[in-house]
Amino acid sequence: MEMTGAKILMECLLEQGVDLVFGYPGGTILNVYDELYHYRDRITHILTAHEQGASHAADGYARSTGKVGVCLATSGPGATNLTTGIATAYMDSSPVVFITCNVTQNLIGRDAFQEVDITGIAMPITKCTYLVRDVNNLADTVREAFAIARSGRPGPVLIDIVKNVTAEKAEYEPLPREEHIHSGRLANLIRRARTSSLKMPEPNQEDVNKLVEMIAQSKKPMLICGGGVVRSRSHEEFREFARRIDAPVAITLMGAGGIAGRDPLATGMIGMHGSKASNMACDGCDLLIAVGCRFSDRVALKPATFARQAKIVHIDIDRAEINKNVETDHHIIGNAKQVLALLNQKVPQYDHSEWKEYVFSFPTETAYDENPNHLTPKQILHTIARLCPDDTIVSTDVGQHQMWAIQHFHFDYPGQLLTSGGFGTMGFGLGAAIGAKLGNPDKTVIHIAGDGCFRMNSNELSTEEFYKTPVITFVFNNHRLGMVRQWQELIYENRFSQTTTERGPDFVKLADANGLKGRRVTTVEELEAAIQEALEEQKKGLGYVVDCTIEETELVRPMVNGGTHITEFLVN
């Protein structure tokens, strides 16, 4: 049947099982929004306060549900406002399809009003970009984009559609996803796409057998749980593997939830702000197996001496990650779930009690001088964990509060922690929390922010209130850009340049201005009362802001300076 491009787009979204999109309209995408009006009973649109908030909301939805997120924006500044969100999703392998519309074909390249080459801009930060100039290609382009976003190593894809295509007509043949998978039509689409983005590499059996032999020879094995375990939802296979080889497990920031934070084998985070147990184990092990880990500069701070006594094995779906940052002794290319399942079939039960006793002689969590007269980060997080449901989803921004959250909250399942680990995006948290709440309406969702970050995304409180999407925001408020200040204190001889934020707004009043309740707290007792009130507000569909006053001198501990050996702790 013949349809306009805008209607074809709606039908293709339904084919992919999309029932929720985030976005912000504008001139060039008006035909799409006009058609979306007719589909409002089947596709819910969330209008955010800013395009960046929409991008993070789609990302948070994708991370927490395992589905593909969808975000819409207009041309020019609307499209460029998405770029931070696109890069955030790309660095953390989150499947989001971004759909923008550009000026009409006859104006492309003429510097028309709100024209920008968004496909060119986004090319380095996406798996694939498309500029759709022919309405006859639109349906297959959308199908292909979703296939690329979810296949192989997941990630964002951008489709830019010139405005006239959304108005022009073409024949549309329905192709439900469950049908075209079996019909072979999807295979044809994949062959036309970037095969490296779509292929699911089959693990080499000889590579698996070699690792089995290396494990048999090891006396002091160690595992790193990376983001690939979370993205592939291979947590059950990973936990079985860890128990079989009886090895301590360190967690990267993106690997939180791949193994339960309180698992007896978990040593806590590894790297710059890693626990002593994790970093000392890395330095002392004789076999290091990293699963779905990029060996970023926050983990392998000094690659030349990283795990210097160990044979290093890397399991990853993306061949480009192998030997990129750390030279390995062996690697297996493949989906973590599949590789771990093969290993679990071949690896017998081991006992490394003596090695574990050494590793766990070091602390897995930082101790603080608890003081009833002021709040510490650990007190705040342990109180939240004690009073909120066990399956609470936690979204963070970036900075000290982010590190404290992974150190002290203890995440139990994939998608429970939503954080910008690769790109380090301040302002990610609230949008991501809104997306997670919409994707998981029966779960409590909290947002952990610093006062600096919250200034960047607090405009989305209006979105939260309007759509009755209750998120509980906890602001770790030290009136400082805390992580930058920490570096200034420890490395820059206390030259505190432009990191003091003793200014407005009053976050409690800001919550009230957006129709939400809030409370400022300075003690555990006050915090407990605020959380109880926030949970009651949640039942009414309303969010809440808790402004937690902490000391400006509070540090994330331990800390290892970048470029130094992993056990050279700058502060304990």
Give the pLDDT score at 400.
97
Note the pLDDT tens digit of each residue in 5-33: 999 999 999 999 999 999 999 999 999 99
Homologous superfamily of 377-556: Thiamin diphosphate (ThDP)-binding fold, Pyr/PP domains (3.40.50.970)
Quick check: 353 and 501 in contact, CB under 8 A?
no
Note the pLDDT tens digit of each residue in 386-415: 999 999 999 999 999 999 999 999 999 999
Quick check: 126 and 154 in contact, CB under 8 A?
no
Q: What is the mean pLDDT of residues 140-156?
A: 96
Inform me whether the pLDDT recorded for 294 exceeds 50: yes
| The three-state (H, E, C) secondary structure of 98-148, written as one string | EEEEECCHHHCCCCCCCCCCHHHHHHHHCCEEEEECCHHHHHHHHHHHHHH
Cα gap 475→546, rounded to integer Å: 6
Per-residue pLDDT band at 179 (split at 50, 70, 90): low
Inform me whether the pLDDT recorded for 178 exceeds 70: no
Give the pLDDT score at 464.
98
Tally Cβ neighbours within 10 Å of residue 320. Answer: 9
Q: Tell me the angle at which helices 51-65 and 429-439 cross, rounded to the nearest 10 degrees.
A: 50
Catalytic site residue from 163, 276, 337, 437: 163
Per-residue pLDDT band at 176 (split at 50, 70, 90): confident
Per-residue pLDDT band at 199 (split at 50, 70, 90): low
What are 45's strand-pairing partners? 21
Cα gap 124→90, rounded to integer Å: 9
The reply to whether CATH 3.90.1200.10 applies to domain 207-359 is: no
Give the pLDDT score at 194.
44
Report phi then psi at 255, rounded to 5: -90, 0
- For this structure, is 483 an active site residue? yes
- For this structure, is 163 an active site residue? yes
Rg (CA), the chain: 24
Note the pLDDT tens digit of each residue in 114-132: 999 999 999 999 999 999 9
Quick check: 479 and 548 in contact, CB under 8 A?
no
> DSSP string of 428-461?
-HHHHHHHHHHH-TTS-EEEEEEHHHHHHHGGGH
Inform me whether the pLDDT recorded for 136 exceeds 60: yes
Q: What is the mean pLDDT of residues 431-442?
A: 98
Inform me whether the pLDDT recorded for 145 exceeds 70: yes
The domain locations on the chain are: 2-198, 207-359, 377-556
Report phi then psi at 112, rounded to 5: -70, 165
What are 548's strand-pairing partners? 476, 521
- For this structure, is 356 an active site residue? no
Note the pLDDT tens digit of each residue in 63-110: 999 999 999 999 999 999 999 999 999 999 999 999 999 999 999 999
Tokens (6 digits) for 235: 């947590």
Cα gap 10→467, rounded to integer Å: 22
Cα gap 179→156, rounded to integer Å: 24
Give the pLDDT score at 195.
42
Per-residue pLDDT band at 324 (split at 50, 70, 90): very high
Cα gap 419→432, rounded to integer Å: 8
Mean pLDDT is lowest, of 213-217, 242-246, 368-372, 492-496, for 368-372
Give the pLDDT score at 484.
96
Alpha-carbon distance values, 444 to 231, 334, 440, 537 (Å): 21, 34, 8, 12
Cα gap 216→210, rounded to integer Å: 10
Inform me whether the pLDDT recorded for 322 exceeds 80: yes
Give the pLDDT score at 189.
52
Catalytic site residue from 10, 280, 483, 559: 483
Topology of the domain covering 2-198? Rossmann fold (3.40.50)
Quick check: 420 and 92 in contact, CB under 8 A?
yes
Q: Which helix (H) or strand (E) holds 287?
A: strand 287-291
Inform me whether the pLDDT recorded for 267 exceeds 50: yes
Cβ-Cβ contacts under 8 Å for 59 (sequence gap 6 or more) = 69, 85, 88, 89, 94, 96, 428, 431, 432, 435
Q: What is the mean pLDDT of residues 182-201?
A: 53
Inform me whether the pLDDT recorded for 186 exceeds 70: no
Give the pLDDT score at 177.
74
Tokens (6 digits) for 278: 């994790």
Catalytic site residue from 114, 324, 537, 569: 114
The pTM (predicted TM-score) of the whole model is 0.95
Inform me whether the pLDDT recorded for 185 exceeds 70: no
Quick check: 358 and 352 in contact, CB under 8 A?
no
Catalytic site residue from 113, 327, 532, 551: 113
Give the pLDDT score at 252.
98
Catalytic site residue from 11, 15, 35, 51: 51
Cα gap 29→69, rounded to integer Å: 19
Cα gap 436→63, rounded to integer Å: 8
Give the pLDDT score at 572.
86
- For this structure, is 114 an active site residue? yes
What is the average pLDDT value for the chain, to the nearest integer? 95
Report phi then psi at 22, rounded to 5: -120, 145
* Domain 2-198 identical in fold to domain 377-556: yes
Tally Cβ neighbours within 10 Å of residue 467. Answer: 16
